[in-house]
Amino acid sequence: MRSDTIYIEIWDRDPIGLSKNLQQIKKVKSLGGCWYFCKDLMEDICTCSGGSVDDLIGKTEIEVVKIEAVRPEDNNEALKRHLLLVKLCLEYGLKNYESSDFSIFCWDQILNTSARTLLFQHGLQSNINAFEDMACRFITVIHLALDHLTFAFQFLYNVLNETNENLNHLQSLSDNRHFYSDLQDAYQQALENLRSICTSVLSSLHTFDLTDDEAKRVEFQYILKCLSLYEDITKINSDIWITLKNEADDWCAKKAEEIKSLQKERRSEDIIKFLNFLRSYQKAADGVVQSVFLDKTYTSEVYENFERHLWQPVRHHVNEVATESRTLKKGKKKKRRKEKTHWKYLDR
């Protein structure tokens, strides 16, 4: 092979047998075809050689054209096409998960080999750098997450983190390329949408079984990581603690009403059960929060909300139970004294 030309030869290496060869006679339409038909037929009849002879069907030459990775002076169109291509590839990959509750944890689940090759080739030919490629992916994933909600927060965090790392690396190289302004706007909007998704889930944190469900603890952890990274990138407060306090306030208010209406017969058991749950939940939440924010705990952040709503009704029931217990003990002592006096009287 020369440096700029590929030679291709086509050979017939698949003998099909006598009976099938005879069936092919109707398809012979040229002198060359007649020659190959007769040759294959004779090979099938005369098998003394113990094998068959391969047939050279034809050959051709293809000139290799070098593809230059030259980006247009105006990169808007190249990035628009790449963003559209990413969207089409991801939407196609998500078809398998439309009716499933299974979450997406990695690219391999939604981008097959062909899609990856296509995106890589387009990025290479359009001279799209790593940040722009990941930004297109992040923008599309967040857009789809608003509709599908099948993406694990761990995956969303990894995508954002990789995008940010590529941007930091690009800036460290002093690349003065002016990014497509609409892409930057879309990237910023995707960041805001991610923040909105995360805070929406945090607003119902007590629906998570943090005590017994490891998957929910991991989800909570990566929601916090997403919001923390959002703050690092945008330098904007994501209101993590305000969201958690508001959620805790609403939950405590509802629980306070439930506690006030506890039945007297099961009050002691229910109060103990609730306090055990509260202790376990707070401990699990503290562990998750401290894995992301070393200087904070969930309990310290929401303590005032819990105290404001739960302290009075819980204390009221505890005092009632204590009073009932003391009354019961006094009654038992009085009964024992009467019984003792009665037996003394009989002994006389």
pLDDT of residue 2: 42
The pLDDT tens digits for 41-91 are 666 656 554 555 566 666 766 665 554 555 555 677 888 889 999 999 998
283-294 burial code (b ≥16 CB/10 A, e <16): ebbbebbeebee
- Strand 5-12 to 55-63 pairing: antiparallel
Whether residue 133 contacts residue 123, with contact meaning beta carbons closer than 8 Å, is answered with: yes
Element holding 11 (H helix, E strand): strand 5-12
Gap between the Cα atoms of 164 and 156, Å rounded: 12
pLDDT tens string 107-126: 988 888 888 888 998 888 88
Tens-level pLDDT at each residue, the chain (348 residues)? 345 666 777 666 555 555 565 556 666 666 666 666 666 666 665 655 455 556 666 676 666 555 455 555 567 788 888 999 999 999 888 887 766 667 888 898 888 888 888 899 888 888 888 888 999 999 999 999 887 667 899 999 999 999 999 888 877 765 555 555 678 889 999 999 999 999 999 999 999 899 999 999 999 999 999 999 999 999 999 999 999 999 999 999 999 998 888 877 777 888 888 889 999 999 999 999 999 999 999 999 999 999 999 888 888 877 776 776 666 555 555 556 555 554 555 455
Q: Could you tell me if 153 and 223 are in contact, meaning their C-beta atoms sit under 8 angstroms apart? A: yes
The pLDDT assigned to 130 comes to 86
**How many Å apart are CA 179 and CA 79, to the nearest integer?**
10
pLDDT of residue 1: 36
Distance CA(130)–CA(136), nearest Å, equals 10
- What mean pLDDT value characterizes the chain? 79
Predicted TM-score (pTM) of this structure:
0.70
CB-CB contact of 247 with 264 (8 Å)? no
- pLDDT of the residue at 124: 87
The pLDDT value given to residue 340? 55
Q: Provide DSSP, 22-86.
A: HHGGGG--SHHHHHHHHHHHHHHH--TTSS---EEEEEEEEEPPP------SS-HHHHHHHHHHH
